[in-house]
Amino acid sequence: MTEAGGAYPAPPTDHTPETNTPDSPTSGNPATPYAVPYTVPQPPAVIDAAIWPSVAAVPASTKAKVAGKVADTIFRAAVRRLPLTVRYPDGAELGLGAGSGSSQGAAYPVMTMHRPEDFARRLGDGGLIGLGESYMAGDWDADNLTAVMEVFAARVGSLVPEPLQKLRGLYLPRTPRTERNTEQNTRSNISRHYDLSNELFATFLDSTMTYSSALFPERGEALRHVAWDGLAAAQQAKIDRLLDKAGVTEGTRVLEIGTGWGELALRAAARGASVYSVTLSSEQQELARQRVAEAGYADAVTIELKDYRAVEGEFDAVVSVEMIEAVGYEYWATYFQTIERVLAPGGRVAIQAITIGHDRLIATRTSYTWVHKYIFPGGVIPSVRAIEEVTEKQTGLRVRERLAMGEHYAQTLRLWEERFMSRAAEVRGLGFDEVFQRMWLFYLCYSRAGFETGYLDVQQIVLDKVPARTATAGRSGQ
């Protein structure tokens, strides 16, 4: 994989990855309250600039140096009032947990700075992109990355002084035109994530190969302790609920937008439905077709490499799991108009969508972030309000029912994180180096922190068509 995706070269055979020592904050020392059950790999002393250009080189322009000093001042001022401990190489500590010898200090997660000047320059030059890149580079570590990210996620709107927030559009990176979700770009955007390697995703997904939030039977405190052996059943429960809400039974004509690796199509076909599924990932298409054929449903399931906008026909049910996030906010109306166009009279729609608060959507929808650069190019997470407004104003669809299940996603991500890190050697053997592994860990922990703090949620949303006369009247008033 390159920084933007694509072919990833095989690792050099003579490289021995560095790991944390047994008493390192990231080693899983049980005496540390925030310890994790794995060791975080360290990047090599010299990072390959051909693969990771923005990680290998610390910003060195005059602008970056000045911005770095400003960022360092803002960061230090912010963390002094936060429930964590930030440790510097000179022995200084900041945060409410400063003074690690105290019982109070031990109760907070620890962020350890290895190269504070490099961290500040990256942060000043790229904002949150720099935060992630500095972790990938090894400028800092954490005893529990999710816990540290939770501290920041819970206060994301107030960490930077408001006057500077208003100026961020003048100096932070902007979304490349090649990543807008036009029909010409969308295939490339999807490929950069989902075509990394089926084998890579298999290292941390369960046997259903389902890459979205599960729905566990547990609730409350018990939910926080769900184990790996219950994940596959929880993924199938999530899928079954969506199929139930969409009214999928024997003879139902199902459109699935976003195939994944085929589990939903398989479970719909097992009900006697016929499934037409579209994806833009050739890797997913290949494995999903293989799984469908092996299960004996090749006659009931068609999986095509096609943009959702190009779908034709009529369907009794439309299902789509965590695909709207990849659509781009400029195309949400197109997405729902396409669904409306192909939905048969009396048909139902069931989607699963990651959501964000509407105020944060408005503040960030045009931002270019670390997640865009390294994980999901072109992605924008919608708010519930945005979905309701788009469908009400620009389609004849209406939201009829919602189930919020963000706490389930937090635990799904925890299980993925632990599984991925426990198979680090296998990931390395697939050709994904330590920088990639730190990138992927940052992605999983960054995401989990969003759900743990409520900054993010995930919803199962059921829609259907309003009567034709009402729908027409609604649109004519625009």
The pLDDT tens digits of the residues spanning 207-229 come to 999 999 999 999 999 999 999 99
Q: What is the pLDDT of residues 150-175, one digit of tens each?
A: 999 887 655 554 544 544 554 456 66
> With 90 as the cut, is the pLDDT of residue 65 above it?
yes
Q: How far apart are the first and last CA of the chain?
A: 46
Q: What is the reported pLDDT for 10?
A: 33
- Average pLDDT on 445-452 reads 96
- Distance, CA of 245 to CA of 239 (rounded, Å): 10
Q: What is the pLDDT of residues 458-478, one digit of tens each?
A: 999 999 999 875 545 555 444
Percent of the chain whose predicted confidence (pLDDT) is above 90: 73
Kindly state the DSSP code that residue 466 receives in the 8-state scheme: P
Cβ atoms of 147 and 154 closer than 8 Å: no
Report the helix count and the strand count for the chain, using DSSP H and E. Answer: 19, 11
Q: What is the reported pLDDT for 52?
A: 95
- Distance, CA of 223 to CA of 411 (rounded, Å): 7
Q: What is the reported pLDDT for 29?
A: 40
Q: Which of 127, 114, 128, 125 is nearest to 60 (CA)?
A: 125
Give the model's confidence band at 379: pLDDT under 50 very low, under 70 low, under 90 confident, else very high.
confident
Burial (CB count within 10 angstroms: exposed 0-12, middle 13-18, buried 19+), residue 220: exposed
Q: What token pair was written down for 430? A: 């697939």
Query: How many C-beta atoms surround the C-beta of residue 232 within 10 A?
Result: 17
- Per DSSP, the three-state class of 335 is helix
Q: Angle 213-214-219 (CA atoms, 0-180°, nearest 5)? A: 115
